[in-house]
Amino acid sequence: MSEFGSVFFCDGATPIMRSLVNLYHIYCYNMIYFLVGISFFITAFVRMAPHQGWCVTFHSQSLEFTWTAIPIAVLISLLLPGYKMVIQMDECVNPLCTVKATGSQWFWSYEYGDYAAPAAMGEKGWDSGVIHPAVGSYSFSQYMKAESDLELGELRNLAVDKLAPFPEGIWVRLLGSSTDVIHSWSVPFFGVKSDVIPGRIIETPMFLDEMGTFSGQCAELCGVNHAFMPIGVEVISHHAFTRLIKP
Ligand SMILES: [Cu+2]
C-alpha cells in the first residue's frame, strides 16, 4: 500500500505489474548510464587540446553518423520491451472467470455473470447484492465508507462497504462499462487502469497471484465526487471463490 512519503511503486500483485516495475527500472538505469556517458564524452571532447579536438573538427560525416545512429539504436532497444509489454497486457489466456465492473457517478457495481447464484456470500457480507436467476448472474454495488463508519486500520477515502471478490491463480476477464460518464477502474497493485466508457464494454485481462485486500480509485476525472468512488478488491483462492459464487 502506498503511504504518505512513498516514492516508488506499490508492490505488484500480478506478473504484469512486477514486469512493469522492472521495465521502469531498466529505463531509469539506461537514462542514468547515457546521461553520465554523454556528459563524460562532451567534457572529454571539449577539454581536448585545440589541435586534437572540437576547434579543428568541421563537417565530420562519421561523427554525424555516430551521433544519429547511436540514439536510434538506443530508442529501438527501449521501444521493443515496452511494445512487448503492451501486447502482454492485452493478452487474455483462456479466462475462467468474468467480472463486470460498471462505473456510475459515484460508485462501482460488480456483476458475476459466469455463475447462477452465490452459495456462501453471507459469510463475508456479500449477500446483499441482487441475484438475477433469469440471466444467471449476481451483482452488487460498492460505495465508499463514510468517515464515521471507519474501523481501526481502514483508510479514509479508500475503504468500501463491500469488497469485490476476485479469484487468485486463474485468468480473470474484467469487463468495464459505465452508466453515465467516462470513469477508470484502476488498481495500481494489479498494473490495471481500464477506462470505462458509456455504451461500450472494455475487456481487461488479469492474472492475480497474490491473495489479500487491495485498493484502487477511479482514475478519470468524472465529476464533483470523483475522489470518493474507491475500488476495494479481495483476492481469495480460486477454490474459495468457486465455493463462494457457484450454486
Ligand atoms: Cu472518477
Under 8 Å between Cβ of 142 and 164: yes
- The pLDDT value given to residue 117: 46
In CATH, the number for domain 97-245 is 2.60.40.420
Q: What does the domain layout of the chain look like in residue ranges?
A: 15-89, 97-245
Tens digit of each residue's pLDDT (9 = 90 or more) over 67-116: 899 989 989 988 999 999 999 888 887 888 889 999 999 999 998 876 54
Q: Model confidence at 131, in pLDDT bands (50, 70, 90)? A: low
Query: Could you give the ipTM of this predicted complex?
Result: 0.94
Q: 240 forms bridges with which residues in the sheet?
A: none
Pairing verdict, β 183-187 and 212-218: antiparallel
Task: Please give the distance, rounded to the nearest whole angstrom, from the Cα atom of residue 102 to the centre of ligand 1.
Answer: 12
**E strand map for 199-238:** 202-207, 212-218, 230-237
Q: 176 forms bridges with which residues in the sheet?
A: 101, 202
Looking up cell 512513498 gives 6
Task: Please give the distance, rounded to the nearest whole angstrom, from the Cα atom of residue 230 to the centre of ligand 1.
Answer: 9
Q: Near ion ligand 1, which residues have CB within 5 Å?
A: 183, 218, 222, 226
Dihedrals phi, psi of 215, to nearest 5 degrees:
-120, 150
